[in-house]
Structure 1
Amino acid sequence: MASLKGIWDDAKTKSFTKEMSSVPDAVQKMLDNRRQIHVVARTVLDASDLFMIGRGLDYSILQEGSLKMKEVSYIHSEAYASGELKHGPIALITDSTPVVAVVTQKKLISKELSNIREVRSRGAQIVLFVKNEYSDSLEQEFQICRLPDLPDEMMVFPASVALQLLAYYVSADKGFDVDKPRNLAKVVTVE
């Protein structure tokens, strides 16, 4: 569309196409690495409440991840833009509250980590989904789940799969049938 509308030139279109071609391999890496996600799912397993935090594209991914968590594991889960935590939600953080954070956008990493550290200082148990390139420096500080390295705008794909797997493992470990979640409407009726 961007090419057809003249927003992108041929070079940008070719670059984007090349970046998109790496997405299937990155998603496969997430699927191959599902044991790591199963391990971090234990942090969330017994929670009654779960917060998911991120900025920019990561926040959008977390909204879907939070919805999946509610649908299949029946855990009260809410996604928040990290910068909004100080406006109320941080009061709900306790030492038994798991917080899932996704950090994939290079330009936002320092602000994001500042917010995550603040939540951790309130006692939250942090599960951090982060690009592989950032993970070594954060491994001693957080429970890490590594995401394959892709350009920032492509990270929505492996991160979405990672959050879906997280919801799957939490649900399966609780003994729920992930293929038949309760009260889920498969059809939307317009009145």
Structure 2
Amino acid sequence: MIVMYLCALDLAEKRGQMTHAQVKQRLEEMSRIPASMQKILDNKEQIQFFASRSFAVKHVFFIGRGLDYALAMEAALKLKEISYIHSEAYAAGELKHGTIALIEEGSLVVALATQPDLQAKVASNMEEVRVRGAHVLAVTNGPWEGAKGHSHEQWEIDAMEDTLAPLCAIVPMQLLAYYLAVQKGCPVDQPRNLAKSVTVE
């Protein structure tokens, strides 16, 4: 992902879509990503505690808009691969097109909201599932006051440029999948059916 991002910056500058100063600023922000990821790892107890209370959940839904939808798909994949918990990713804007019917009391909904321009719409989606009995966890790009009224819990990554945010936001999702699997006693280093399928293909 980083290599692709660097290629995109190089092309943007060469095509006149970004100035050298803008590219330099993005590179400076990218240089802070390792520290932001380490901060998440240093505070993993929050994720461990959440997993200890949530490992019995039957259904987990990840929702997001824009780049966060791609993040939601990766998070759902990781969770089902190693914890065997039914998890799905949905574009938050499509909740009313059938998905909302799956939300019930006790469902866990992880709302990925790292794109500031889309947070107001995500807040509306969070409220829709919250009033239907879902436990809502919001993952945000820095502080976001709007999450408090529509979610039960909020995890913040360091505030950063929105196209970079998913690179850090996937880390707590990977940790969540790991700790839920550990709580359930799943063999995280040898996921069921996965290793054979990957090596054979």
The two structures have a TM-score, normalised by structure 1, of 0.91
Residue-by-residue CA offset, 1:115-170 (whole Å, 9 max, x unaligned): 10111011111111123321586279521222221111111122111100000000
Runs of 4+ in 1 over 4 A off after TM superposition: none
Cα distance change of structure 1 residues 44 and 79 upon mapping to structure 2, 3 Å threshold = farther
Quote how far apart the aligned CAs of 1:188 are.
6.0
Aligned length: 189
Unpaired segments ≥5 residues, structure 2: 1-6
Instruction: Give the structure 1 partner of residue 10 of structure 2.
Output: 3
RMSD over aligned Cα, in angstroms?
1.9
Structure 2 SS opposite 1:99: strand
3-state secondary structure, aligned to 1:152: coil
Cα distance in 2, alignment partners of residues 40 and 26 from structure 1? 20
Partner of 2:110: 100
Tell me if 1:17 matches 2:60.
no
- How high is the sequence identity, in percent, across the aligned residues? 43
Q: Aligned in 2, Cα 1:183/1:19: closer, same or farther, shift over 3 Å?
A: same
Query: What CA distance in whole angstroms lies between the structure 2 residues aligned with 1:153 and 1:136?
Result: 20
Shift of 1:49: 1.5
**Closer/same/farther in 2, CA of residues 140 and 119 from structure 1, 3 Å limit:** closer
Gap runs ≥5 in structure 1: none
Residue type of the alignment partner of 2:199:
V
Question: Superposed, which structure 2 residues align to 1:13-162 within 5 Å?
Answer: 13-134=23-144, 138=148, 141-162=151-172
Shift of 1:105: 0.8
Higher mean Cα deviation, 162-171 or 122-131? Answer: 122-131
Separation of aligned partners in 2, 1:146 and 1:165: 14
1:47: Cα distance to partner?
A: 1.6
Q: Aligned partner of 1:187: which letter? A: T
1:186 aligned partner: 198
Give the number of the structure with larger relative contact order, counting CA–CA contacts within 8 Å between residues 6 or more apart. 1
